[in-house]
Structure 1
Amino acid sequence: MDELEFRRRVYANPDTTDRDVVEAAKSDPAKQAFWQELKAQDSALLDVMRVPVPEDMAHKLIWQQSANEFVRHRKRSRWYIAMAASVAFAVGISFTLFNRAEVSLGNEALVHMQYASAEQSHSGLPVDLTQVNAKLAGFGASLTDMLGNVKVANYCHLSNVRSLHLIIETDQGLMSVFVVPQRDDVLLPEAFSNDTYHGEAVKMQRANILVVGDKDADLHPVMQEVKRKIQFSA
């Protein structure tokens, strides 16, 4: 297995157990080291994105179990049953709204931008079209041509979804392009911003595309270029 095919396979799935990939790594120490580094980076990103369990979660679970038991046996008055239902409804609405806010891709991308300036290419080599397409292959996508001067092409996690982060050098400074697999449980706002950055998002055939830049940057040309050059497999 040549170097490009090996990298494409492990980029697409660092935890692959395919025999030909394993054999290629065993026969080439450089491939083995690269694979181990990629798996370590993937594991580290997952650790960072893990959300700790709220301290009061045990109390909520105990409360829910008691409420269910209470309803089943109907040992108390209908007033208490109505009160329990009202509380459960209020808690359910609050929990749902909290979760939906947490998984907004726009918010996740803005938070990620705080660390974008420190990112460097993991390969240590200039980023070219072949390297970008090797990583896009895991998303069923490829570029027909390079997106300007791509400085960094790394995997990241947005809303616990493994995504691709491209950092592009433009006339307006560095901009980020995120390629995120589509999921039904995340929000995709058309536009989002904070005090430092703003972004735009579009839903494409098999992935969501987010472009983020400085507060006053014009994102439209980069977004149009991405939409024109990216293509998805059937």
Structure 2
Amino acid sequence: METASVKEHKIRVIGIGPGSPDYLLPAAAKAIESAKVLVGGRRALGQYARPDVSQHTFPITNDIPAVMDFIKHELAVSDVGVLVSGDPGYYSLLDALRREYPAEQIEVIPGLSSMQLAFARLALPWHGACFLSFHGRRPEQEELCYRPGRILGMLTDGKYNSRSIAEILMEAGWPGETRLSVLLRLSYPDEEIITTTLSEASKMAEKSHGILIIQG
């Protein structure tokens, strides 16, 4: 029997939300349950993969070429589900997949992003806000400029954290008394929300791998 063409099979990029299963959309749960092949971070696979139905899984690590090779190999015989945290459209593996595959071969199931949940926790509307990422990158200087009333939502990492970003923003002209909210481990039982100012954050113990929301 002739092997199916790669293009006959789909990549389903499944947004699994900020972490807690309480925030997993029903459409995502159905896609995960029906998938024969699942790719995702180790925590996501541990939480959602179903070894009882012999799902073939592959962990996403820093070796992205290996992940892409696995997906390409599996697409020859099956659809592939790719689990991404938050929403696939917000700093996820979707970018890399779009560079390798045509859009019509990719189906995206949206999820609730950590940024959405962060704004919800603060009861803060997010239309008009500017979204940046310090996770593995640094925004351009013009993206960091201060304007009265400006709202920034930012992803952070170990290097760019609550302390270092507060210092960067004050150097870019933001007043020290600007309101800063630090939101960590959102949706988990130990989630933490700290509201302070840029000036105070620059002196506090650093908080990393979360969300910062700045209200100018």
TM-score by length of 1: 0.26
Higher relative contact order (CA 8 A, sep 6+): 2
Larger radius of gyration: 1
TM-score by length of 2: 0.28
More helix by proportion, 1 or 2? 1
